[in-house]
């Protein structure tokens, strides 16, 4: 079934980093359209470091202005920039020996063509219109392509810098996960029974982790829609990057009848918080087929995405803890 | 090296896949089972397990924990992990065995690069204030390093192409190679630049894969195999993370590692070098003092398959294979980490426990 080709997911970490007594003034200077280095003995280091790289002695924050001109030491022409590069058209990365500095800075050179690039070429620092106190506030151009800029000084010191790490992944579904997804589309739970241990896994990762036995389609089993709440947690949302919840809600693990691995992270909204308990018997009500959403199901955690309408209490007597104690997580 | 005699008793590698359609755990499980079968060991006979992998590559926090499935997750294994190439897991394993209280360590490296965008991911290992925001990636740094080598007069672009041509041809006889072909230097030089002076073929492929080996102390090693491959030395050294502070036209840390091991450029039959970008071979040969008597990367090396986090350990596996198969008496294996050969590990292997092969 072509619709279950791959899962796309994004990994994001928003970091705020303190800049400290050396990086802070450097980033502040960049924001204000200046380049500074730090004195380390007889040398000037740019970008400035907190420690002398040779002696490892801590350096006093004794800065000197460097640049804005410099000479290219080594360079490479980036024909196909990544999305994270400072320019989306071809450009050069280079080590640049800035006037007044003794160690070269690694940075981007925006040049009209690779043909103007050469070792020793003179470049000039240019600044972005919008500056935030980051290394990306500046870039370099060949001297002949430079022009005068009027840079307004910003307010205050750059004491915190923001870094959003954002990565995209596109992973082909494993054959096992694809059959599990096709099952959910049909409204059934497809697991696998280990030929070695007899244990039933859902969603299966395609192997028995205890016996180290790979499994195949021949090991697939269809599981019933009934099961037991084997553990749960009531989550009180706190504010964080990406948080969408505002009210308390339940996440539960459901051990389907005949299975040895609970379906984790089940979203429970229909059972009052104070009635929730482990041992409760429940039945899965799938959404109508057209409304089933498979977003969020990947090779890793598995999960059930937006496929399930709710887990409905069946009213059967609770299952004693001893019966499912092996399966609590 | 003084201390316990330690040998590789079994090696296993998956092929390098452009896109492996199953899980990283299954890659590892296949290799665990292969090694257990070869040695006749039960999983519970293995005293310690250590793996190298990268959560950012998988895109999943604690991905390394689920990888333990590949070693057999129950009852719990005595286990460790490095967020580094498996070659550094081997280093830790070697040090661990020196304590003398356990006999065997299973060492693994694994990674699937196919789901993510390696250039974007590995830019994040650079300085978070000065380099990562620029997206400064290993390919770009390799390009600058290649420029530095040319400017130092140590090689020409034809020399880079020569490395590629020979490696990809050698890959033809390696069943684990992902990219292998017989292509001439002239044809390679006719290709367009990608990160000038590098062309795309100077770069490694994007790969999924895993490598694993079992090491054991002296008597245990002899008991487990009649062809132990002795680890006669292992050392690793690191350079500054600021490329501006390094001389990119030499591999200073490789040279120090070689000196610490007392290598005098003595003849190795084989060297498996972690040449991810073709110009690196020139720097590594120089730093290690390797001459014409040493065959470089008979496996084809990382230019034929680059399962990140396993690539370095795979060099050790390939070198050990040459000794086990009787094609070499001794061998050198090298692993690299970071951009532009920032960190380097050197491991020497011999069929003879005293290294006089």
Class of domain B6-116+206-224 as given by CATH: alpha beta
- The predicted pLDDT at position A2 comes to 58
> How many angstroms separate the CA of residue B277 from the nearest CA in chain A?
14
Show residues of chain A in contact with B197, CB under 8 Å: 76
Q: Which of A81, A103, A212 sits opposite B244 (nearest CB)?
A: A103
Q: Where are the beta strands (DSSP E) in B282-329?
A: 295-296
d(CA A294, CA A106): 44
Residue that the structure tokens 């294996």 belong to? B333
Show residues of chain A in contact with B120, CB under 8 Å: 82-84, 167
Show residues of chain A in contact with B22, CB under 8 Å: 174-176, 206
d(CA B198, CA B175): 27
CA–CA distance from B66 to each of A89, B24, B60, B270 (Å)? Answer: 40, 9, 10, 36
Q: Do B21 and A174 touch (CB under 8 A)?
A: yes
> How many angstroms separate the CA of residue B103 from the nearest CA in chain A?
23
Enter the tokens of residue B108. 């693994």
A300/B contact by beta carbon, under 8 A: yes
B148/A contact by beta carbon, under 8 A: yes
- The predicted pLDDT at position A295 comes to 87
d(CA B64, CA B16): 20
What is the distance, to the nearest Å, from the Cα of residue B292 to the centroid of all Cα atoms in its chain?
Answer: 22
As a three-state string, the secondary structure of chain B is: CCCCCEEEEEEEECCCECCCCCCHHHHHHHHHHHHHHHHCCCHHHCCEEEEECCHHHHCCCCHHHHHHHHHCCCCCCCEEEECCCHHHHHHHHHHHHHCCCCCEEEEEEEEECCCCCHHHHHHHHCCCCCCHHHCCCHHHHHHHHHHHHHHCCCCCHHHHHHHHHHHHHHHHHCCCCCCCCCCCHHHHHCCCEEEECEEHHHCCCCCEEEEEEEEEEHHHHHHHCCCCEEEEEEEEEECCCCHHHCCCCCCHHHHHHHHHCCCCCCCCCEEECCCCCCHHHHHHHHHHCCCCCCEECCCCHHHHCCCCCCHHHHHHHHHHHHHHCCCCCEEEEEEEECCCCCEEEEEEEECCCCCCC
Q: Number of residue pairs across A and B with CB atoms under 8 Å?
A: 172
- The predicted pLDDT at position A296 comes to 85
* Burial (Cβ within 10 Å: 0-12, 13-18, ≥19) of residue B75: exposed
- Is residue A273 predicted with pLDDT exceeding 50? yes
Q: Do B196 and A77 touch (CB under 8 A)?
A: yes
B60/A contact by beta carbon, under 8 A: yes
A288-324 pLDDT, tens per residue? Answer: 999 999 988 988 877 898 999 999 999 999 999 999 9
**Chain B residue nearest residue A75, CA to CA:** B144
DSSP B134-176: GT--HHHHHHHHHHHHHHTTS--HHHHHHHHHHHHHHGGG-TT
Check if the beta carbon of residue B62 is closer than 8 Å to that of residue B69.
no
d(CA B272, CA B294): 10
The domain ranges of chain B are 6-116+206-224
**Chain A residue nearest residue B69, CA to CA:** A209
Q: Do A74 and B245 touch (CB under 8 A)?
A: no
- The predicted pLDDT at position B357 comes to 45
B291/A contact by beta carbon, under 8 A: no
Q: Do A206 and B23 touch (CB under 8 A)?
A: yes
d(CA A278, CA A227): 11
Mean pLDDT for A65-92 is 98
Q: Compute, in degrees rounded to 10, the torsion defined by CA atoms B138, B141, B147, B153.
A: -80
CA–CA distance from B321 to each of A41, A209, A248, A256 (Å)? Answer: 51, 29, 58, 47
- The predicted pLDDT at position B1 comes to 56
Mean pLDDT for A107-116 is 97
User: What is the share, in percent, of chain A residues with pLDDT greater than 90?
Assistant: 91
Instruction: Please name the residues between 169 and 198 in chain A that touch chain B, using a CB distance below 8 Å.
Output: 169-172, 174-176
pLDDT per residue as tens, chain B (357 positions): 568 999 999 999 999 999 999 999 999 999 999 999 999 999 999 999 999 999 999 888 888 999 999 998 778 889 999 999 999 999 999 999 999 999 999 999 999 999 999 999 999 999 999 999 999 999 999 999 999 999 999 999 999 999 999 999 999 999 999 999 999 999 999 999 999 999 999 999 999 999 999 999 999 999 999 999 999 999 999 999 999 999 999 999 999 999 999 987 678 999 999 999 999 999 999 999 999 999 999 999 999 999 999 999 999 999 999 999 999 999 999 999 999 999 999 999 999 988 854
Q: Which of B22, B134, B135 sits opposite A174 (nearest CB)?
A: B22
Instruction: Please name the residues between 114 and 143 in chain B that touch chain A, using a CB distance below 8 Å.
Output: 114-117, 119-121, 123-124, 128-137, 140-141, 143
Q: Where are the beta strands (DSSP E) in B191-267?
A: 193-196, 198-199, 208-217, 229-238
d(CA A202, CA A212): 16
Show residues of chain A in contact with B144, CB under 8 Å: 74-76, 93-95, 106
A19/B contact by beta carbon, under 8 A: yes
């Amino acid at each position: 079934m072509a619709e279950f080709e791959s899962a796309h997911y994004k990994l994001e970490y928003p970091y705020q980093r303190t800049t400290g007594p050396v990086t802070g003034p450097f980033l502040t200077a960049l924001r204000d359209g200046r380049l500074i280095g730090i004195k380390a003995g007889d040398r000037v280091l740019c970008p400035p470091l907190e420690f002398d790289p040779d002696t490892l002695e801590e350096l006093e924050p004794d800065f000197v202005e460097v640049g804005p001109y410099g000479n290219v030491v080594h360079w490479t022409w980036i024909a196909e920039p990544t999305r994270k590069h400072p320019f989306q058209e071809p450009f050069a990365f280079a080590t640049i020996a800035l006037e007044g500095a003794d160690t070269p800075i690694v940075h981007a050179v925006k040049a009209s063509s690779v043909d103007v690039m050469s070792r020793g070429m003179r470049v000039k620092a240019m600044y972005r219109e919008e500056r935030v106190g980051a290394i990306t506030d500046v870039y370099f151009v060949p001297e002949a392509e430079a022009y005068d800029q009027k840079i307004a000084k910003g307010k205050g010191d750059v004491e915190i810098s923001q870094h959003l790490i954002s990565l995209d992944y596109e992973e082909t579904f494993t054959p096992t996960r694809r059959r599990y997804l096709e099952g959910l589309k049909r409204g059934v739970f497809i697991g696998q029974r280990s030929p070695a241990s007899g244990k039933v896994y859902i969603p299966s990762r395609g192997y028995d982790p205890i016996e180290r036995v790979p499994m195949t389609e021949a090991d697939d089993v269809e599981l019933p829609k009934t099961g037991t709440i084997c553990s749960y947690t009531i989550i009180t949302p706190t504010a964080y990057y990406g948080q969408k919840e505002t009210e308390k809600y339940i996440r539960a693990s459901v051990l389907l009848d005949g299975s040895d691995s609970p379906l984790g992270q089940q979203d429970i909204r229909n059972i009052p918080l104070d009635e929730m308990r482990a041992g409760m018997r429940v039945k899965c009500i799938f959404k109508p087929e057209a409304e089933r959403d498979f977003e969020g199901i990947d090779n890793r955690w598995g999960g059930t995405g937006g496929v399930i309408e709710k887990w409905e209490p069946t009213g059967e007597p609770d299952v004693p803890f001893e019966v499912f104690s092996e399966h609590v997580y | 090296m003084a201390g316990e005699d330690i040998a590789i008793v079994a090696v296993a590698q998956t092929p390098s896949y452009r896109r492996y359609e199953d899980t990283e755990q299954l890659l590892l499980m296949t290799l665990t089972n292969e090694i257990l079968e070869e040695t006749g060991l039960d999983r519970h006979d293995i005293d310690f397990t250590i793996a190298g992998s990268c959560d950012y590559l998988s895109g999943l926090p604690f991905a390394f924990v689920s990888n333990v499935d590949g070693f057999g997750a129950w009852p719990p294994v005595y286990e460790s992990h490095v967020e580094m190439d498996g070659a550094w897991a081997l280093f830790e394993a070697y040090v661990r065995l020196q304590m003398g209280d356990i006999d065997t360590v299973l060492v693994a490296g694994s990674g699937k690069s196919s789901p993510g965008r390696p250039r974007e991911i590995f830019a994040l290992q650079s300085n978070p204030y000065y380099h990562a925001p620029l997206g400064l990636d290993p390919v770009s740094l390799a390009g600058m390093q290649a420029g530095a080598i040319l400017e130092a007069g140590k090689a020409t672009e034809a020399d880079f192409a020569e490395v590629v041509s020979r490696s990809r041809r050698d890959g033809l006889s390696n069943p684990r190679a992902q990219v292998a072909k017989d292509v001439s230097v002239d044809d390679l030089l006719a290709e367009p630049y990608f990160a000038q002076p590098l062309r795309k073929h100077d770069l490694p492929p994007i790969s999924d894969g895993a490598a694993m080996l079992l090491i054991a102390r002296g008597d245990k090693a002899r008991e487990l195999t009649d062809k132990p491959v002795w680890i006669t030395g292992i050392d690793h050294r690191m350079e500054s993370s600021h490329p501006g502070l390094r001389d990119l036209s030499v591999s200073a840390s490789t040279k120090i590692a070689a000196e610490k091991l007392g290598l005098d450029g003595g003849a190795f039959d084989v060297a498996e070098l972690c040449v991810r970008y073709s110009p690196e071979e020139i720097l590594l040969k120089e730093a290690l003092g390797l001459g014409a008597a040493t065959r470089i990367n008979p496996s084809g090396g990382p230019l034929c398959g680059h399962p990140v986090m396993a690539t370095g350990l795979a060099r050790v596996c390939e070198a050990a294979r040459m000794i086990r198969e009787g094609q070499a008496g001794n061998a050198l294996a090298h692993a690299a980490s970071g951009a532009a050969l920032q960190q380097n590990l050197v491991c020497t292997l011999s069929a003879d426990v005293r290294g006089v092969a």
